[in-house]
Chain A
Amino acid sequence: KAGVTQTPRYLIKTRGQQVTLSCSPISGHRSVSWYQQTPGQGLQFLFEYFSETQRNKGNFPGRFSGRQFSNSRSEMNVSTLELGDSALYLCASSAGQFEKLFFGSGTQLSVL
């Protein structure tokens, strides 16, 4: 079974631009979560989607948004990029609300 797939693997953007990251969960998994990983703040929860609905949200500004499609694939969008948005963005999926969470390899975003 294929794991969680994230595209693209690397991304370079400039301040003020917007970016969209994509995630395909493990086949059969309906829940997708997004995390931001930085050396200073560690792993921080962004949001979680289940059946196209946002189930949980972390403490990030409104510039960070996401959505989930009917096939469980998910995208996250960051608008008006700031230097501090440079991070590894990780997507994870699970089979249900109280099931194990499996991570993808992430998208490394650099904002110049």
Chain B
Amino acid sequence: GENVEQHPSTLSVQEGDSAVIKCTYSDSASNYFPWYKQELGKGPQLIIDIRSNVGEKKDQRIAVTLNKTAKHFSLHITETQPEDSAVYFCAATRGAGTSYGKLTFGQGTILTVHP
């Protein structure tokens, strides 16, 4: 089955710096890659997603890049703010033959933004 590796497990940055989280996946048929942010006591919140026919997607301070050949994708957060502090999860699914409801998640990255 699909396996998703996420790095780093913890990331500490100063306010205003950029943060990058990287994930690799094993199933070459995977074609949908969402990113979730989870704050304490809450469920994961979808922050951005990308499909395999797109190499990069941006939404204000957040961007995701996908390299299908290398089977890895990354989350980039620019101009970090203390409210960006949370646990971030990457996920992948092949979609075809299944659905986007069945996601394989990475182990998570604890991001801390220091004021």
Please, which residues of chain B bring their CB within 8 A of the CB of A92?
43, 101
Query: What's the tally of chain B residues with a CB closer than 8 Å to chain A?
Result: 24
A contact set with B: CB distance below 8 Å: 4, 31-33, 42-45, 48, 50, 55-56, 58, 90, 92, 94, 97-106
- Of A43, A94, A105, the most chain B CB neighbours within 10 A belong to A43
User: Known: A43-B89, A101-B34. Contact between A48 and B41, CB under 8 A?
Assistant: no
Q: Are B43 and A106 in contact (CB under 8 A)?
A: yes
Tell me which residues across on chain A come within 8 A of B99, comparing CB atoms.
Answer: 31, 48, 50, 55-56, 94, 97-98
From residue B35, how far is it (CB to closest CB) to chain A in Å? 11
B57 at the interface (CB under 8 A from A): no
| Given A42-B108, A98-B32, A98-B95, also A105-B102 (CB < 8 A) | no
Query: Judging by beta carbons under 8 Å apart, are B89 and A56 in contact?
Result: no
Q: Is the CB of B102 within 8 A of A103?
A: no
**From residue B104, how far is it (CB to closest CB) to chain A in Å?**
7
B44: chain A residues within 8 A (beta carbon): 43, 90, 103
